[in-house]
Amino acid sequence: MKNLPSQLPAATLALCLALCHAPLVLAAASNQELNDARQESQISTTYALNPSLRDQDIRVMVHDSKATLTGTVEDGIKKELAKEIALGAPGVKSVDNQLQVNSNFVPGKTGSTSAYGELTDDANITAAVKSKLLWSKYADGLAVTVHTKQGRVSLRGTASSAMASQAATRMASSTRGVMSVDNQLQVGSAKPTLAESVKHSSNQAEQNISDSWITTKVKSSLLYSSHVESSSIKVKTRNGVVVLSGRLASKSERALAIELSKNVRGVRQVDASALSVASQ
């Protein structure tokens, strides 16, 4: 085998080096494009899930971790919200917000992204209503299926009493995002499917439910519910007695927080003496 010449022309050497490094350059470029596409998808999906932005005309392009927003929104608040969401996407370093504000902008017909957002909202509402019913003290008397469409909840099945049926309506209607409740529950003998599910998961009778379980479910009920500022309420439980403390905006908000807490399975009493109202 002949030896290669020790001296190569400069042009030939440069070509060899370029060819050797080309795969690395292409790989880096490919990774960046992949990251850009992933960030575009994440930002667009977040807009689709956001009730304030899903029907706005927003287009996203990401290049070298810089997001560019174009299109039209109704007001400056939505323009700023779109920018903050884009900046919050992992890996995005800057945002060029070119969105135009037009107070006369009329949202277009619901597209696939808006429909996806509404579908996700409905699924979240259904899950929240089911959860509140599942861990409520009325679970023994309810066999319910929950369906949500565009924020409108329908309850079908049976309830052992009118009180249980009415409680189901109140729990569903107070859930965040619910527009209306159609209670089609039939009052009569019902299999305690909800109660069975609770007992199966906890493997305990009602009187033996732990204080920590009760505290968690009360907090979740408050979090899922509209017209209650859950972050303003502290919850503690001792021997089944729930203690609520904090400061709320109105008496109606305080009353709802107490009712939601009383509805949780295993709660023997609610002490709201430390739960004040700002207007008082």
Q: Are residues 233 and 152 in the same domain?
A: no
Q: Are residues 82 and 31 in the same domain?
A: yes
Burial of 83 (0-12, 13-18, 19+ CB in 10 A): middle
Confidence bin at 202 (pLDDT 50/70/90): very low
Q: What pLDDT does residue 83 have?
A: 92
Cα–Cα distances (Å) from 18 to 5, 14, 25, 43, 269, in that order, read: 20, 6, 10, 36, 77
Distance CA 280, CA 274 (A): 13
CATH of the domain at 44: 3.30.1340.30
Q: What pLDDT does residue 280 have?
A: 53
CATH of the domain at 161: 3.30.1340
The last residue of a domain, from among 70, 101, 132: 101
Q: Are residues 261 and 209 in the same domain?
A: yes
> Does 28 map to a domain?
yes
Number of domains in the chain: 3
Which residues, other chains included, contact 7 with Cβ-Cβ below 8 Å and sequence gap of 6+?
A: none
> Does 211 map to a domain?
yes
> Does 232 map to a domain?
yes
Stated pTM of the model: 0.59
**Alpha-carbon radius of gyration of the chain:** 28
**Token pair recorded at residue 277:** 């109202």
> Does 63 map to a domain?
yes
- 226-248 in b/e form (b: 16+ CB < 10 A) is eebebebbebebeeeebbbebeb
Q: What φ, ψ does residue 135 adopt, rounded to 5°? A: -100, 15
Q: What pLDDT does residue 105 have?
A: 83
Q: Are residues 224 and 188 in the same domain?
A: no
> Does 109 map to a domain?
no
- How would you write 69-110 as a 3-class SS string? EEEEECCHHHHHHHHHHHHCCCCCCEEEECCEECCCCCCCCC
Q: Are residues 254 and 179 in the same domain?
A: no
- Percentage of the chain lying above the pLDDT 70 cut: 78
> Does 3 map to a domain?
no
Q: Supply the mean pLDDT for the chain.
A: 82
> Does 163 map to a domain?
yes
* Tens-place pLDDT, residues 217-268: 999 999 888 888 888 899 999 999 999 999 998 999 999 999 999 999 999 9
Q: Over 70: is that where the pLDDT of 196 sits?
A: no
Tell me which residue range forms the domain holding 39: 12-101
> Does 4 map to a domain?
no
* Tens-place pLDDT, residues 145-176: 999 998 899 999 999 899 999 999 999 999 98
* Tens-place pLDDT, residues 82-107: 999 999 888 899 999 999 999 888 87
Mean pLDDT: which of 97-101, 192-196, 207-211 is highest?
97-101
Cα–Cα distances (Å) from 77 to 66, 68, 86, 87, 137, in that order, read: 21, 18, 14, 15, 42
Q: Are residues 19 and 96 in the same domain?
A: yes
- 37-60 in b/e form (b: 16+ CB < 10 A) is eebbebbbebbbbbeebbbbebeb
The last residue of a domain, from among 101, 130, 154: 101
What is the number of residues in the chain? Answer: 280
The last residue of a domain, from among 101, 131, 155: 101
